Amino acid sequence: MTAVQSPPVAEREIVSLPSRRGGLGAAFRFEVRKLRTQYRGWAVLLAALLAPIPIVVIIHGQSRPPKDTLFGRFATDNGYALALLVLGFATQWVLPLLTAIVAGDIFASEDQHGTWKTVLTRSTSRARIFWAKTLTACGFAVLVLGVLAASTIVSSLLIVGHQPLIGLSGQIISSSTALKLVTASYVSALPPTLGFTCLAIVLSVWFRNPAVGIAAPVVLGMVMVLVGGLGSIEAIRSGLLTTPFESWHGLLTQPRFTGPLVEGLLVSGVWSLISLSAAFAIVRRRDITGG
Amino acid sequence: MNQALAVDATGVTKNFGTVRAVDDISIQVAAGEVYGVLGPNGAGKTTFLRMLFGLIRPDAGTIRVFDKTWDQAGVGVLDGVAGFIESPRFYPYLTGRANLEGLALLDGGVRPGLLEEVLEIVDLTDRAERKVGGYSYGMRQRLGVAASLLREPRLLVLDEPANGLDPAGIRDMRALVKRLAGSGLTVLLSSHDMGEVEEICDNVTILNRGAVAFHGTIAQLRTMAPDPGYLLSTTSDERALALSRHHPHVEVTCDPEAALVVTGPRPEVSSYVASLVRADVDLLGFTATQTPLEALFFMLTDESRPSAAHRSEPLEEAVR
Ligand SMILES: Nc1ncnc2c1ncn2[C@@H]1O[C@H](COP(=O)(O)OP(=O)(O)OP(=O)(O)O)[C@@H](O)[C@H]1O
Ligand SMILES: [Mg+2]
């Protein structure tokens, strides 16, 4: 095949313009800006802020405490116990859901709106977009957990009170120590929450569908809770991403044991790493044909 | 390496499964020219342009943009390049302005005042504060041009920019592209409309089923074009057919739609029509079928179109 090259109409000197390109910070700012203008992020934050209050009020008003759950026995008349009860509940599926609402959508929504081509035809590398989105989703997860923790702990203490807490070994924990331990317990939920964030990211990248990105991590989380509860093989149980959500139990025993916290950190780290590696590989390689 | 080439694609091939979307095509676009990639639906225009932007990878061949390749320069290939693929897409929940501001962030910022300028150029200043979700198709298309101009590109790549626009929108879009081209910008434009390419471009590659069917200047293309054709309907088609025997340069055939199809050089056709009038054969209709270049395009892309009136000319003009 021959390529006929005819003289250009207006041959110009090609001036080499300074190559201008936004860095990761710029891409991150754009992601945050998009998130801020969407109502979903605000709805999740609002839910994390407000939902704990009626829950605290209702449990506090119960005549019979929910004895069969961890710290349920004391939850009606001890603020710390109630905050831990809510944590136990939140880690079942609420935290995976709250984080997935943003993380499960953040990549897939580009497919939904056909905007991959819009951002990738700027001088922005796929890697930069990937990390900007990942940072945004993880930042949001930290924020949501922080708001949920603050709202639950403050409302529990204000509504129910800050009496000394009876620990899992029956020991009395002073009010000030209990506050630290309850806070630490919420912090211990961060690694698996981030693990679920990364899981939502890879599902969002893989399926290119926001609904799957949001629902699938929650469903997977529930399956893991189920599998973990079946008394299955310990190796499987400790490898599940839901197991680190229980690592705080060791903080409330006498003596305390922190092994599960370290293990939880590792397990969450491995889940996150695998999820992000897979997601990154897909984003890097895929053909952008839609939109 | 020729420094004056904005785009230098050689032997580019792309398969989607068993479909060969782009088949060993080579295209050279010189800096400063307006280049058309023309082809019917499914010819591979979009696929080629996607590869240029790095949205998809070619299976074979290389694409150099201002002498840089994706392999060497990564995303740096797109420095000085802007445009859009198919219809431009934006975040519907952001305003037009916020969309542009976000893209400007990705670009590493724009010089002060440029955003207002590009909004002005595409006539969207008044609608800039509205969410893109509420934009009409034409407005989104113009926002796409604005987003491209924000990069102050040296090469503007537009994939069927007039697609889906109403006649006024098409006219405005073509005028805009011409104006931009006039400012010295290199423009690579894809289209399925020969008229558009003829009007705007200096050089053209015609693609058919992924392969190059023609490569050259519009002037070269014109020399290859067949005579113009017209649809004729009269009060007596038999007599009209008989009279055509006195006009050896005019070919008259009977169309299945029961009209006569007249082809030939324009002066000969005029004198044939005048002879019909003199012979008391009344003309009921006389319309041009396709322009010669359109006819050539359909020949090159072996797509036989019904001789529908693509462009109608006033009767008097043809008779004159
Ligand atoms: N993602 C894809 N998967 C499979 N086949 C594809 C894909 N994208 C394009 N094709 C095929 O590749 C060929 C070229 O398509 P392309 O979109 O490049 O054509 P085009 O010239 O832009 O057509 P149009 O004028 O309709 O925009 C077509 O046969 C099309 O079906
Ligand atoms: Mg196309």
| Confidence at residue A8, expressed as pLDDT on a 0 to 100 scale | 36
Residue A12 clears pLDDT 60, i.e. is over it: no
Residue B318 clears pLDDT 60, i.e. is over it: no
Dihedral of CA A204/B148/B191/B223: which sign?
Answer: negative
Residue B51 clears pLDDT 70, i.e. is over it: yes
Dihedral of CA A71/A221/A144/A192: which sign?
Answer: positive
CB interface of B with A, residues 155-194, below 8 Å: 184
| Residue in chain A lying closest to B57 (CA) | A287
Of the candidate ranges A63-67, A195-199, B206-210, the one whose mean pLDDT is the lowest: A63-67
Q: Is the CB of B46 under 6 A from ligand 1?
A: yes
Written as six digits, the tokens of B288 are 């041009």
Domain boundary assignment for chain A: 23-285
Q: Whose CA is nearest to atom 3 of ligand 1?
A: B16
| Confidence at residue A2, expressed as pLDDT on a 0 to 100 scale | 38
Residue B317 clears pLDDT 80, i.e. is over it: no
CA angle B138, B140, B143 (to 5 degrees): 115
Residues forming a β-bridge with B188: B35, B157
B137 touches chain A (CB under 8 A): no
The answer to whether the CB atoms of B78 and A29 lie below 8 A apart is: no
| Confidence at residue A199, expressed as pLDDT on a 0 to 100 scale | 98
- Candidates B14, B41, B158: which one to mutate for ligand 1, based on the most atoms within 8 Å of Cβ? B41
| Confidence at residue B100, expressed as pLDDT on a 0 to 100 scale | 97
Do residues B225 and B293 lie in contact, with contact meaning Cβ atoms separated by under 8 Å?
yes
Q: Which is more confident, B29 or B305?
A: B29
Residue A159 burial by Cβ neighbours in a 10 Å radius (0-12, 13-18, 19+):
middle
Residue A185 clears pLDDT 60, i.e. is over it: yes
| Confidence at residue A75, expressed as pLDDT on a 0 to 100 scale | 85
The answer to whether the CB atoms of A27 and B105 lie below 8 A apart is: yes
| Confidence at residue B117, expressed as pLDDT on a 0 to 100 scale | 94
- Candidates B37, B38, B45: which one to mutate for ligand 1, based on the most atoms within 8 Å of Cβ? B45
Rounded percentage of chain A residues whose pLDDT exceeds 90? 79
Residue B312 clears pLDDT 90, i.e. is over it: no
- This complex has an ipTM of 0.88
d(CA A194, CA A140): 10
DSSP code of B226?
A: P
d(CA A125, CA B284): 62
CA angle B158, B15, B211 (to 5 degrees): 60
Q: Whose CA is nearest to atom 29 of ligand 1?
A: B42
Q: Whose CA is nearest to atom 30 of ligand 1?
A: B42
| Confidence at residue B310, expressed as pLDDT on a 0 to 100 scale | 34
B152 touches chain A (CB under 8 A): yes
Residue B259 clears pLDDT 90, i.e. is over it: no
Chain segment B237-246, per-residue pLDDT in tens: 889 989 999 9
How many angstroms does the Cα of residue B277 sit away from the middle of ligand 2? Answer: 46
The answer to whether the CB atoms of B56 and A29 lie below 8 A apart is: no
CA angle A98, A218, A103 (to 5 degrees): 50
Nearest to A122 by CA among B180, B157, B97, B61: B157
Residue B257 clears pLDDT 80, i.e. is over it: no
Residue A64 clears pLDDT 60, i.e. is over it: yes
Rounded percentage of chain B residues whose pLDDT exceeds 90? 57
Q: Is the CB of B244 under 6 A from ligand 1?
A: no
The answer to whether the CB atoms of A113 and B89 lie below 8 A apart is: yes
Confidence of residue B184 (pLDDT cuts 50, 70, 90): confident
Q: Is the CB of B18 under 6 A from ligand 1?
A: no
For residues A124-153, average pLDDT: 97
Q: Which of A37, A39, A123, A129 to mutate to test the interface with B (most CBs of B within 10 A)?
A: A123
| Confidence at residue B43, expressed as pLDDT on a 0 to 100 scale | 94
Confidence of residue A37 (pLDDT cuts 50, 70, 90): very high
A36 touches chain B (CB under 8 A): no
Residue A250 clears pLDDT 80, i.e. is over it: yes
For residues B246-260, average pLDDT: 83
Measured in angstroms, the CA of A51 and the nearest CA of chain B are apart by 27
Q: Which chain B residues have a beta carbon less than 8 Å from that of A119?
A: 103, 106
For residues B150-158, average pLDDT: 94
Residues forming a β-bridge with B230: B262, B288
- B130-138 long-range Cβ contacts below 8 angstroms, 24+ apart: B130/B95, B130/B96, B131/B92, B131/B93, B131/B94, B131/B95, B132/B90, B132/B91, B132/B92, B132/B94, B132/B95, B132/B96, B132/B99, B133/B92, B133/B93, B135/B96, B137/B87, B137/B164, B137/B165, B138/B164, B138/B165, B138/B166, B138/B169
A120 touches chain B (CB under 8 A): yes
| Confidence at residue A18, expressed as pLDDT on a 0 to 100 scale | 47
Q: Whose CA is nearest to atom 24 of ligand 1?
A: B41
| Confidence at residue B3, expressed as pLDDT on a 0 to 100 scale | 56
Q: Which of A20, A37, A122 to mutate to test the interface with B (most CBs of B within 10 A)?
A: A122
d(CA B194, CA B286): 22
| Confidence at residue A20, expressed as pLDDT on a 0 to 100 scale | 63
Domains contained in chain B, CATH given: 7-223 (3.40.50.300), 229-290 (3.30.70)
Confidence of residue A19 (pLDDT cuts 50, 70, 90): low
The whole-chain average pLDDT of chain A stands at 90
Residue type, A4: V
Residues forming a β-bridge with B84: B158
Rounded percentage of chain A residues whose pLDDT exceeds 70? 92
Place of tokens 């951002």: A119
The whole-chain average pLDDT of chain B stands at 88
Helix, strand and coil percent figures for chain A, each rounded to 5: 70, 0, 25
| pTM more than 0.80 | yes
d(CA B102, CA B87): 19
How many angstroms does the Cα of residue A210 sit away from the middle of ligand 2? Answer: 26
Q: Which is more confident, B310 or A17?
A: A17
Q: Which chain A residues have a beta carbon less than 8 Å from that of B33?
A: 8-10
Element (H, E) at A79: helix A79-89
Do residues A195 and A241 lie in contact, with contact meaning Cβ atoms separated by under 8 Å?
yes
- Rg value, chain A, Cα: 24
B88 touches chain A (CB under 8 A): yes
B213 touches chain A (CB under 8 A): no
What residues contact residue B268 under an 8 Å CB cut-off, 6+ apart?
B247, B249, B250
d(CA A4, CA B215): 6
| Confidence at residue B2, expressed as pLDDT on a 0 to 100 scale | 52
